[in-house]
Amino acid sequence: MAQVTKDMTIGEIIMVDQGIIPILLGSGMHCIGCPSSQGETLEEAAMVHGMDGDALLAAINEYLAAKN
């Protein structure tokens, strides 16, 4: 089963499963295609956007677990 960690970049996370994009967009992270998102970790992006990185990580991993 695929799993995401906070130290993975947004670009790496999207490569795991493009179905994660709506989760990121729905949480308010609208810069998915922005160049900095390719090198920014989930933890860094959450901090910059004032989000709870742990909650976002949990939502992504719950989505991935439900696919299996």
Distance CA 5, CA 48 (A): 17
What whole-number distance in Å separates Cα of residue 49 and Cα of residue 14? 18
- pTM, full prediction: 0.90
Cβ–Cβ under 8 Å, residues 17 and 64: yes
Residue 53 has pLDDT above 80, yes or no: yes
Looking at residue 37, its pLDDT comes to 75
Q: Rounded distance, CA 26 to CA 16, Å?
A: 18
Token pair for residue 64? 């991935």
Cα atoms in the 13 Å half-sphere on the side-chain side of 25: 9
pLDDT at 20: 95
